[in-house]
């Protein structure tokens, strides 16, 4: 039992009872996630500039999602940066391959917010993976997709050095890379498309996959089979409407990966 003293006027009063000082507050971890998880995909790409520090910060502040998702790409010198596409063309003010740049070039790149976004967002530099881990690691559970398979060792080092192996899921579409991530002591996440799920046997991955990330457009039978695979977490992507959310939950998924966490937060899931 912890006690503390408060000064009320000139009288010191001792309070006894459960106390959770800041330094004793449990750090976020996969083991403390709720039964149904919401993930802000690329920070919530329909509500903020995707894969930006501003999007991740906004999603964290809003609290609608328990997991923050972002993508990683590797520059020519091995630096890991937050970017979905292999090129800069779609989301930045530059053109060309991400891989052609170095860490010295990266500060000159600026994200270009999508015209469809309602709010006005200032252009900002895309963050590095290290910057995202430093800002949100230990404060939120994170999910990062290793877009470049050869980046996995470097990504593992960034996560391990910060003591975040139990609060960062490492995502990939490649089963062999998910298994390698698991062997490196990371929490492996494997995403699969609707077409892939038609032929997959998810039970074969349950020894090394912590999260099976399934396309919500898959057939009912394929989603049910994934949910019954023995993999503890089966999360559906990318779900942006209450109707699609409710279907995924009804078919056995226990997580929703969404570009619109605020939108989904406005309605409660129907009974499933």
Whole-number Cα distances in Å, 17 to 5, 14, 20, 142: 12, 10, 10, 33
Whole-number Cα distances in Å, 204 to 70, 176, 209: 27, 12, 9
Q: What is the pLDDT of residue 7?
A: 37
* pLDDT, one tens digit for every residue, the chain (272 residues): 344 433 334 334 343 444 334 334 467 999 999 999 999 999 999 999 999 999 999 999 999 999 999 999 999 999 999 999 999 999 999 999 999 999 999 999 999 999 889 888 988 999 999 999 999 999 999 999 999 999 999 999 999 999 999 999 999 999 999 999 999 999 999 999 999 999 999 999 999 999 999 999 999 999 999 999 999 999 999 999 999 999 999 999 999 999 999 999 999 998 65
State the CB neighbour count (10 A cutoff) for residue 61. Answer: 8
Bridge-based pairing state of the strands 141-146 and 80-82: unpaired
pTM, 2 dp: 0.90
For residue 241, how many C-alpha atoms fall within 13 Å in the half-sphere facing its CB? Answer: 5
The encoded tokens of residue 117 equal 């976004």
């Amino acid at each position: 039992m912890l006690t503390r003293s408060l000064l009320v006027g000139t009288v010191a009063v001792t309070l006894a009872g459960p106390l959770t000082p800041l330094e004793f507050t449990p750090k976020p971890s996969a083991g403390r996630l709720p039964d149904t998880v919401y993930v802000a995909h690329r920070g919530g790409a329909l509500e903020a500039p995707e894969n930006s520090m501003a999007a991740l910060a906004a999603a964290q502040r809003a609290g609608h999602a328990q997991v923050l998702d972002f993508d990683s790409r590797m520059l020519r010198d091995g630096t890991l940066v937050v970017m979905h596409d292999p090129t800069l063309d779609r989301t930045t003010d530059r053109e060309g391959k991400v891989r052609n740049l170095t860490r010295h070039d990266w500060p000159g790149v600026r994200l270009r917010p999508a015209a469809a976004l309602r709010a006005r967002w200032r252009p900002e530099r895309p963050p590095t993976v290290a910057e995202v881990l430093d800002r949100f690691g230990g404060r939120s559970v994170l999910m990062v997709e290793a877009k470049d398979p050869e980046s996995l060792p470097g990504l593992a080092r960034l996560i391990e050095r910060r003591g975040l192996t139990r609060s960062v899921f490492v995502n990939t579409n490649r089963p062999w890379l998910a298994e390698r991530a698991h062997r490196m002591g990371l929490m492996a996440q494997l995403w699969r498309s609707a077409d892939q799920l038609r032929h997959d046997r998810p039970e074969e991955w349950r020894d090394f996959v912590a999260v099976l990330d399934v396309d919500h457009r898959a057939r009912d039978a394929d989603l049910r089979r994934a949910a019954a695979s023995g993999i503890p977490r089966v999360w559906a992507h990318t779900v942006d409407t209450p109707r699609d959310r409710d279907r995924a939950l009804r078919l056995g998924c226990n997580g929703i990966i969404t570009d619109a966490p605020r939108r989904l937060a406005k309605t409660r899931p129907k009974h499933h």
